[in-house]
Each structure stands twice: as structure tokens, then as C-alpha cells.
Structure 1
Amino acid sequence: MTPLEDQTPVFEMTDVHWQSLGKSGAGHKHRYGHAVVVSGPFGQGGAARLAARGALRIGAGLVSVVCRADAVAEHAAQLNAIMVKPYADDTDFLDHLTAIKPQAICIGPNLGLSSASKTQLGQALTLGLPMCIDADAITHLSDRSEPLPEVANRQSVMTPHEGELRRFIPEVFTETSCRVTLARRAADKAGCVVLFKGPDTVIAGPDHAPMIVSSKTFQHASWLATAGSGDVLAGFITGLLARGFDGFDAACLAAELHFRCAEAFGPGLIAEDIPEMLPKVLR
């Protein structure tokens, strides 16, 4: 670790954090927000469903998967409490997304790298809502050939692994290997919170000093190295954003709970298990 990484504070759950994750008996589902996950094309919707399940388990009052009409059957066959909201064609995407009134949007998990999916990302960014920007959406933002609108909402959270971050800020990787510096520079460029994935997850934001969420105290965190794990993390973040959490807090809490779910399940963990461990962790 670099000296700066050694000096960066490590996130610790407090009673206040646990209390903030609870729900009031006087509340109703609309009080806890509508989280929307944008699905990729037909046959590639599993990532969106994993994210949606994560958002629902972490307490969003309503969760919807927005998809093309040809993907409805795929989603509807596997979702019950999560709503499926199809749009007729790509020209209807923005109007459709606006009409369902999300409080937070997750976009990127298996979104695809087509020009149509890049257009969708650009349209979603124009809404100015808190977003979790993950996976393919980060790759689109890294493409300098056709710039996208800036991330207007500073409460949004970008969730790159090292390869995605390297595409987003290649010039910074030539200057330093310090993960804290890399996360800070990415947050400055993106204008939002950046959660840089890893055993020591670094979270940085334009308005916050960096924080590390460490896996070192969790024996089974290595089992999170499995397909779909990051999609669930994106769902956790989106659900917290929909509930009204500050983007930096949402990122820290989601990363910590992600590690704790892995610890609660143990060896053999797959992505589908992660949301199902969250009730146990919260109890």
C-alpha cells in the first residue's frame, strides 16, 4: 500500500448507520422510493434482475426493470415483487423512463455497447437523477469519440473495477498506482462519487474525503469474485439512493453490507445468494 492508502480512514458501521437502514412503522412503500434498473437487450437481462433484487432487499419501496418489449417474457418469468416496465422502441425510452418517475436509476449492468445503449445512457443522464453508473455505462462514458452529457447529479455513484477505471482515466494510471489517488481523480472528473472496487474498496467523492471499505476482517469476502456480484452491489447502491441516502453514504454502506453478506453465507456463494443474506445481516 502507498502512504496515502495507509492514511485513509477505514469505514466502520455505527449504531447510527444500522438505524438509518431501518424502516418506520408509520411509513409506506412510496416513502422509500422507486428504484429503476435499465435492462440490456433480450437474452442479457440477468444482470438487471440481480441489481433489481439487490435494490428491493435493501429497502427501496418500489423496484422496476425497464426493458425493450421483446424482453418482457424473459423478465416476467423470473420476477414477482419487481415490476417490469417495457418500452415499445428506442425512441420511446426517455419518455417512458420519465413517466414512471424513478427516484434513482441503475444503468450499465449488461447494458451493451451499441450506439443505441449509449444513446439511452445519454438520455438517462439528462434527467439529473441520482444514478448508479456501472459496467457498460462506464465504458460508454470513457469513449471520447462521442461525448455524453456530464453526470449532473453529484449524488450519483460510479462503480468501476480496475479495467473500467483505467479506460476512464488512462492518463492518471501513467502517473500513479495509488488507488486512493486514482479514485479521487476519477471522482473529480466524473463529478460524482466513485466506488473503486477491490479487496480494499476505495470510495471518493467531490465533496468527501476518501474512505476505504476493507474486506480484510471478513474471511469469506473472496467468494464475491463471482459473476453477477457487482450487479447486486449496484442494486444495493441504487436502492439506498432511491431511499434518499447521500451518494457517499450509499456507496460506503452498500460496500460494507456486500462484504457482510458474503461472510454470512460463506464458501460456495453465488450472486443470487447475496441479496438473500441481507435480512440476516440487517437483523
Structure 2
Amino acid sequence: MPEASADIVRLDGAEKHFGAVRALSGVDFHVGAGECVGLVGHNGAGKSTLMHMVAGTLMPDSGRIAVRGGIEDHYSVPRALELGIRCVFQELSLCPNLSVAENTRINHASLSGFGWRRKAADLITAKLDEIFPGHSISAADIAGDLSIGRRQMVEVARAFTVTQDPLDLVILDEPTSSLDAHTAGQLLAFVRRFVASGKSCILISHLLGEVLGNADRIVVMRDGKVVASDAAKAFDRDRLVTAMGGVEARQKAAAETASRPAPGPLRVRARPARQDDGKELVAHAGEIIGL
């Protein structure tokens, strides 16, 4: 595991509240140079809030953020980009009325001056070719005319495009959610090459096999806290599910249900008005009924 001095980004004691909801509760998190960190947890575990902090879109209510050992008191998206931290959020952000090349320019301020469209087109095409060979996406294509999967491919390629701006860490939030298996495989193979070159990634995915097969280290979140952090090889699917709360929650719910007296059936009268045979739907507590 990388030493603290080699960390690209580090959060210590990060807290975040949204009204009465505590989204993060004293979270410690770091990403080392040349490391792919897998981040897993159920919906509402705090993953997105944590990643928004790393990307600069949210500041912690308390705690601190450091990039390469330097404390960031006024962290922001422009500052994160300046420091080489980029993010591909699950919610696609391409402007639908602009071309692929024009969308590339939005994220890269260094693409300016005479001939910037050609430069942007060349850069995004080269990166698409590198990550997704055989993609058939043109830099002149209007983003809104592309399928969701192809838009996601452009988002990913744009984040990894190399310009005069630094690039050290890319956050990938469910990057394969709209990709077919072949294209997802191309992306994950590229991520491994990217990390092998000394760069870093944060991989967020509900596909546990995807995380187990590509991360160097895995961090598990539950209820706004980090509940497990270890080398990926120390985890298997069962340990991940248990840490996320899947097994524990089911066992706890089963124990609570067993300790309560069984209630009577809930009768739902849902028969057609013309049906006179007295038949009705009966649902018992704890049942799942298919219609």
C-alpha cells in the first residue's frame, strides 16, 4: 500500500450533513499514486458524497482535504482540475446540442486559440481509439444524437484526454452502467494500463466482480462511514456483501420478525366488480406476491 507521502488525495475526519441527514460521519479516505481504489456500498452509503468532495463539488462541514500532502482550505472543481483530479459522474454531463469535439473543449481550457476545434477533435478521437477500438464515434457527432452508451464512452474518453492540463486521478462512478460487456471490458483493460503507468483511479460500481477484478484496494462504506478497507485480494464476494450490510441486515430483520407475534393476514379486496365467487387476494406479513 502506498505511503501517506505518496497519496494523491487524502480526506481525514470528513463530515457532511444535509439538514438532519448525516451523509458522512468522520470518514478517512486516501488514494495512493499508481493505485486503483474500488469503492462499494449500498445506495445511500455515502459513496457519491465522498466522491463529490474529492472532485471539489462539495466541501466537508468538518475534517480536511489534502492533495499531495498540501491542505486544501478552499478546494473547488477548478482547483481539483488544476491539481489533475477529474471525475466521470454517473449522471452524464455532455451538452446535447454540442458536438463531441466541442464538449471536449468545455473540460479542457488549454484547447483555445486558432484551430481549437481541430485540436479537440484530434485529441478526443485519439483517446476514443485508445480506449474503445472500433467505436465508430465521430468528433463531429452531436452528443444528443448518440446513444446513452456512446455518450458514456465520450464522457470517459474526455476525462482521460491528455492536454497541457495535469492528469493524476480519475474518478469513475458506475462507468460501465450503460456499456455492453465487450465495451466495458475495453474500458477496464484501459484502466489497468492507466494505473500501471503510475496514475490513479477510483472505481465505484455495484458490480462486485468488476471491483474485485480491477481494484488494488477496496473501501466499503455503510451509513456514511468506512466500515472496511483492505487489499482487493483480501476480499471475496461474500466478505464484501457482509461488510456492506447485506447479510447482517437480513439476519437482524429475520431475528426481529421471529421475535414478534405473527399478525393476522391483510385482506386486500381487489376482485373485479362483476366477480361474485368471493375470491380475493390475501397477503400475509413477510410475503412477496407475484401478480
TM-score range, shorter chain: 0.3 to 0.5
Question: Between Structure 1 and Structure 2, which shows a larger proportion of helix residues?
Answer: 1
What TM-score results when the alignment is normalised by the length of structure 2? 0.32
Bigger CA radius of gyration: 2
What TM-score results when the alignment is normalised by the length of structure 1? 0.32
Question: Between Structure 1 and Structure 2, which shows a larger proportion of strand residues?
Answer: 2
